[in-house]
Amino acid sequence: LYEGVDVYGVHNGYSGMVHDDIEQLTSRSVSDLIQRGGTFLGTARSKTFMTPEGRKTAYENLRKRNIEGLVIIGGDGSLTGGSLLSKETGMPIVGLPGTIDNDVWGMDYTIGCDTACNTIVDAINKLRDTASAHRRIIVLEVMGRGSGWLALVSGISGGAEYILVPEEKFDLAEIVNDLTKAYEHGKRYILIVVAEGAAKGQDVCDYIETRVSVLGHIQRGGSPTVIDRVRASQLGEQAALALISGLSGIVFGYHKGHVVSVNLYDAVNNKKALDPEYLHLAKVLF
């Protein structure tokens, strides 16, 4: 809007694109939103869009409004869909990494991951109170089907004794043996953070008496942190300017404190690894 271009919003993601649920936006449309979590436009999966016919319909709905470029906000699935649409129709696409998993290749930050991590650490702090009072082993299961970033960083920040992630092999029987020794040396309580893709929190109960807390979808909501608000705003501006200048096929993100752009194809076809320094730190701190 600042640059004098028309801006449209697609409701409910690719489903809305296929079903022509598209609205022209004004400055009022996006006022009073920065403190809100989630997405005011809504989001939804679409099996229809994942077919060539569905993408053709989506493209036609865009073109009849003279929409000349798209900003796609999401994780691997959303960015892959945008890549396919651009390849088949020539529609210019710029991606923004919107996923709490922080698993988009080529960058060390994705929109929403900081807020989710802070939500988890807040839960860890509360669970620590009850674990200490009752001298219990408590397991907190967090999101992360294919990536353990949330579990790793929140576990380090919350002082968890063990952090289980899908990227690292582990032996539950060996972990239980370590926990038993810790108790023998005067440990009053234990907190374990496990990514859902590594194991189910209940699996630990097969080896030792524990209490399991599954945090669930609360991780996806809540008022955004300062970091998420500022960085999302900066990335949004870069995406708009890129489309206006004729760029396409890139994803903007943060790497080592700076805004970077990576090739869209590379972003969706490479798997991001966990930071080895964080993995080492988690082992050192136990």
Q: What is the CATH number of the domain that holds 184?
A: 3.40.50.460
**Residue 101 annotated among the catalytic residues of the structure:** yes
| Angle in degrees, CA 75, 47, 98, rounded to 5 | 15
Choosing from 76, 101, 103, 228, which is the catalytic residue? 101
What value does the mean pLDDT take over residues 34-44? 86
Residue 230 confidence (pLDDT): 96
The reply to whether 284 falls in a domain is no
98 is in which domain, residue-wise?
7-112+224-269
Q: Is 99 in contact with 75 (CB distance < 8 Å)?
A: yes
Do 100 and 163 belong to one domain? no
Which DSSP letter does residue 135 get? Answer: T
Indicate whether 154 pLDDT > 80: yes
The reply to whether 79 falls in a domain is yes
Final residue in a domain of this structure, among 193, 221, 249: 221
Do 210 and 119 belong to one domain? yes
State the Cα–Cα distance between residues 78 and 57, nearest whole angstrom.
17
The reply to whether 37 falls in a domain is yes
Q: Report the DSSP pairing between strands 93-97 and 137-142.
A: unpaired
Do 84 and 19 belong to one domain? yes
Do 128 and 174 belong to one domain? yes
Q: How many domains does the chain have?
A: 2
Do 193 and 55 belong to one domain? no
- Collapsing DSSP to helix, strand or coil, 124 comes out as helix
The reply to whether 83 falls in a domain is yes
Do 216 and 136 belong to one domain? yes
Return the H-helix or E-strand segment holding 164.
strand 162-164
State the Cα–Cα distance between residues 193 and 177, nearest whole angstrom.
17
What value does the mean pLDDT take over residues 109-136? 91
What value does the mean pLDDT take over residues 70-96? 95
CATH number at residue 94: 3.40.50.450
The reply to whether 46 falls in a domain is yes
The reply to whether 250 falls in a domain is yes
Do 177 and 136 belong to one domain? yes
Do 106 and 229 belong to one domain? yes
Indicate whether 24 pLDDT > 70: yes
Do 96 and 14 belong to one domain? yes
What value does the mean pLDDT take over residues 146-154? 95
Which pLDDT tens digit goes with each residue over 245-282? 999 999 999 999 899 999 999 999 999 999 999 999 99
